[in-house]
A and B are shown apart, each in its own frame.
Chain A
Amino acid sequence: MKRNNFSSDVIKMKTRNLLIAVLPSIMAILAGILVGFVILLAVNPSQAFAGLSTIFIGSFNKGAKSIGNAFYEATPIILTGLSVGFAFKTGLFNIGASGQFFVGAFFTIYVGYTWTWLPPSIHWLVALIAGLIGGAIWGVLPGLLKAFFNVNEVITCIMMNYIGLFGVLYAIKNSVVYNKLQNRTYVLPESANLPTLGLNKIFPYQSMNSGIIIAIIFVIVIHIILDKTTFGFELKACGFNPDASKYAGISAKRNIILSMVIAGALSGVGGALLAQSGWFIDVVDNLPGYGFDGMSVALLAMSNPVGILFSGLFIAHISVGGIYLQRLDYDMEIINIITAAIIYFAALALLFNIITKKIFKDKSGKNANADSGAAVAAIADVKKKLVADDKKPTNSKNTSNTGKKSNASSKNNSKGNAKKGGKSK
């Protein structure tokens, strides 16, 4: 009976914590969409409500086909989002995701287009790994320079973006993948594309394939690395407090380099997955925007890998909505303004945290008070009785000790529980 109560309390707490974690993002999203609605009203009031519902319905506007479109859009930005988020966890600002993405995409296109002697069953995988390696190569230099020469990674990453852009354009122009007539790269042969796994039947969008599943696999892998391994713990420790982690014997240099390599590899995979879904590189002096979109994805999710999956899907969802927004004679750019507004509101975490806490105050605030009150009383009680024994009272001892002392504390605890039960009902 008691145990049941306890576990249901834990579940309650877990859901509450999840809500507290997610609610600010949801509020930011709603506030951002409100900004979009104001713009819709300002441009053309008569269509504003239709426009708003189009944005909300987003990728469900055309059923399975547009959902497939959203998956296609989400795949690369989930990966670049993971890249930016992973570096953030280590206290690094990976503004170079665009360059890593671009280099990764080129490696994949090159391997996918030229290494056709590979059996088709592994050709796509080799091409994918090539993209991963390309991105990792582009991520390693900012890491190395940061670790050994104290060069600010933001500026190296910006420089690497440009070097990657012009380097790749040069490499394209001087290799067989260059489609001179259309001034872009050739599209990959079928064997180098990602397997569709029949997903293109379920979601009849022409570029639909298993990319989204691979993205989800990477989300899980990164989640495990960050939350379940010593390595991930060390990375996060470096991000929280480099001095303390150094003191604890964690090699900051090694972690900075590895973190940038992994971040680069993730962006590279993003480029690979897109290139293996029928995308090609246009030979123009601009980097594609997927790296910067990754920044918004990571920031909206507060760098949490699982959150990145959902924020990536969400941003893709409203982006696809933007395509249908044009039918109402609205500009697609409204979606980008909304995304920016959402990120801005996400930055105002404080405001939303206050609101969230207010919402939960009636339950959690008073509960916490009751709990702490009971605990204080229990400790005071135990202290009195322990004076003779000359032992230090701690919380863990409160629960594990037997005899008179624990009786006293458990009495108080049960009082506290009774109080809590009374109030929550």
Chain B
Amino acid sequence: MTGLDLLYFLVQQTMGFAIPLLVVALGGMFCERSGIINVALDGIMIIGALTGTIFINLMQSLDAMSGNLLYFVAVIVAAAFGIIFSLLHAYASINMKANQVISGTALNLAAPALAIFIGRLYTEKGVQQIEFVNQFRIEKVPVLGSIPFIGDLFFKNVYITTYIGFAILAISAFVLFKTRFGLRLRSCGEHPQASDSVGINVYKMRYAGVIISGALGGIGGLVFVVPNSTNFNSTVSGYGFLALAVLIFGQWNPLKILYASLFFGFLRTVAASYSAIPFLLNMGLPMEIYKMVPYIATIIVLIFSSKNSQAPRAEGVPYDKGSR
């Protein structure tokens, strides 16, 4: 493998790890910007992955749909079920003024149990693994894939979800900072009483935040499972928690979240494929060290970047109209 091939390989692999983190962290961003802490991201991802893979499995066994159309519809299914699941969190934390950490933890506990339970009910053999045939990888995007260098880098061996992820990023940044909705959402996370006083419906805005996080969380779950595996086994390997970390690391800002997820995705890629990189292989370090590196590096970066880190001010505080 030449140096250039290695670069292509690393970039392509990094996307596989970084895109789910990016999408889910962006979802979390909308939620936390509206003032609701969402530790349930992991659970929402699991539900999205569960429903998405069941849908793919069903369609493939019925031969009703195939290829990237199927993948795209599955993404929408995952988003829909992510929303439904996240509504539980919204109801508890907005209407019932519940402790948001508790309700989020409850969803995190429920999701893997539900995934195993439903998986066993769904599969004929009664196993929890939901199999699917991965037919979604695009070898080469027409026209764009022929561009030298850039084509190799970004338009070969990709999934449509990579582009969906970047589209979500662009839309998120635009919505959050350039639209009236975004401004209102952010104000509800900073000072809901003030927002209410100018006629913004805080409950509605917070529902919007949680619903967006549900949709993106569900998508992120499916996007994580499909490129990295051929079955869904009731877990997303704690990626939802990593997304939470990326969100905080990215300081609730879309562009910084992109950097954080690329940083993390790249280190994960290096850890997963260090044996293919001659320089790292020659160092002779044990596998576990490489696996630890992304987490250690994140902590070190955080030490230097957290001094002025500030979460949305009203985050985690149930909105009470009567309070001063």
For B58, the chain A residues whose CB sits under 8 A away are none
In the docked arrangement, what's the CA distance between A141 and B296, Å?
A: 12
Q: Is the CB of A349 within 8 A of B98?
A: yes
Q: Is A212 in contact with chain B by the CB < 8 A criterion?
A: no
Return chain A residues, CB-CB under 8 Å to B249: 155
Q: Is A192 an interface residue (CB 8 A)?
A: no
B85 CB to nearest chain A CB (Å): 12
Which one of B102, B120, B241, B248 contacts A95 once the chains associate, using CB atoms below 8 Å? B241
Contact B107 A145 (CB under 8 A): no
Partner of B103, one of A43, A150, A155, A347: A347
Known: A145-B302, A299-B102. 7 other contacts (CB 8 A): A151-B303, A162-B292, A331-B117, A344-B103, A347-B103, A347-B106, A350-B96
Report chain B residues within 8 Å CB of A296: 105-106, 109
**Residue from B96, B106, B110, B291 with most neighbouring chain A CB atoms (10 Å):** B106
B178 on interface, CB distance cutoff 8 Å = no
10 nearest CB pairs, A to B: A340-B110, A336-B113, A344-B106, A170-B288, A340-B109, A343-B106, A347-B98, A347-B102, A347-B103, A155-B245
Q: Which residues of A contact B117 (CB under 8 A)?
A: 39, 331, 333-334, 337
Determine whether B163 belongs to the interface, using a CB cutoff of 8 Å to chain A.
no
Does A318 sit at the interface, judged by CB under 8 A?
A: no
Given A166-B288, A170-B286, A295-B105, CB of A350 within 8 Å of CB of B303: no
Cross-chain contact A159 with B245 (CB below 8 angstroms): yes
Q: How far is the CB of B320 from chain A (nearest CB, A)?
A: 11
Q: Is B299 in the interface zone, CB < 8 Å from A?
A: yes
**Residue contacts A-B, CB under 8 angstroms, 12 given:** A93-B101, A151-B303, A159-B296, A159-B298, A160-B295, A170-B286, A296-B105, A299-B102, A333-B114, A334-B117, A347-B96, A347-B106
B289-301: CB near A (< 8 Å → 1, else 0) gives 1011001101100
A249 and B292 alpha carbons, distance in the complex (Å): 39
Interchain CB contact under 8 A, B120 and A331: yes
How many A-B contacts are there with CB distance less than 8 Å? 138
B210 at the interface (CB under 8 A from A): no
B255 at the interface (CB under 8 A from A): no
Q: How far is the CA of A158 from the CA of B102 in the complex (A)?
A: 17
Question: Are A154 and B244 in contact, with the CB atoms below 8 A?
Answer: yes
Minimum C-beta distance from B122 to chain A (A)? 12
* B contact residues around A247 at 8 Å (CB): none
B292 contacts A166, CB within 8 Å? yes
Indicate the size class of the contact surface on chain B.
35 or more
The answer to whether B109 and A167 have CB atoms under 8 Å apart is: no
A152 touches B248 (CB 8 A): yes
Is the C-beta of A328 less than 8 angstroms from some C-beta in chain B?
A: no
Query: In angstroms, how far is the closest chain B Cβ from the Cβ of A91?
Result: 11
Asked whether A378 is an interface residue with its Cβ less than 8 Å from the other chain, the reply is no
Point out the residue from A43, A145, A299 that lies within 8 Å of B121, measured CB to CB.
A43
Contact with B along A151-177 (1 / 0, CB 8 A): 110111011111100110110010000
Is there an interface contact between B309 and A145, defined as CB atoms closer than 8 Å? no
User: Of residues 266 to 324 in B, which have CB atoms within 8 Å of A's CB atoms?
Assistant: 286, 288-289, 291-292, 295-296, 298-299, 302-303, 306-309, 311
User: What are the residues of chain B within 8 A of A162 when measuring CB–CB?
Assistant: 238, 291-292, 295
Tell me, rounded to whole Å, the shortest Cβ–Cβ distance linking B18 to chain A: 17
Docked CA distance A152–B110 (Å): 26
Q: Tell me if B245 and A340 are in contact (CB < 8 A).
A: no
Contacts of A108 in B (CB 8 A): none
Within 8 A of B (CB), among A321-364: 331, 333-334, 336-337, 339-341, 343-344, 346-351
Q: How far is the CB of A234 from chain B (nearest CB, A)?
A: 23
B116 interface residue per 8 A CB criterion: yes
A348-B110 in contact (CB<8A): no
Contact A155 to B105, CB < 8 A, known contacts A166-B288, A333-B113: no
- Tell whether, in the assembled complex, residue B292 and residue A348 are in contact, meaning their CB atoms are under 8 Å apart: no
Does A149 reach chain B (CB closer than 8 Å)?
Answer: yes
A168, closest chain B residue (CB):
B288
Q: Is B242 an interface residue (CB 8 A)?
A: yes
- With the chains together, A162 CA to B242 CA distance in Å? 10
A218 at interface by CB-CB < 8 Å: no
- Asked whether B302 lies within 8 Å of A155 as measured between CB atoms, the reply is yes
Interface pair B306/A150, CB less than 8 Å apart:
yes
CB-nearest residue of chain B relative to A32?
B106
Residues 81-101 (chain A) with a chain B CB within 8 angstroms: 93, 95
Tell me if B302 and A158 are in contact (CB < 8 A). no
CA distance A334 to B295 in the complex (A): 34
**Interchain CB contact under 8 A, B110 and A344:** yes
Residues of A within 8 A of B291 (CB): 162, 166
User: A43: nearest residue on chain B (CB-CB)?
Assistant: B121
Residues of chain A lying within 8 A (CB to CB) of residue B200: none
Min Cβ gap B124→A in Å is 16
- Establish whether residues B92 and A163, one from each chain, have CB atoms under 8 Å apart when the complex forms: no
* Residues from chain A with Cβ under 8 Å of B97 in the complex: 350
**Cα distance A350–B112 in the bound complex, in angstroms:** 27
Residues of A close to B39: CB separation below 8 A:
95, 154
Do A158 and B245 form a contact, CB below 8 Å, given A43-B121, A350-B98?
A: yes
- A149 engages B307 (CB within 8 Å): yes
User: Chain A residue with minimal CB distance to B103?
Assistant: A347
* A60 at interface, CB cutoff 8 A: no
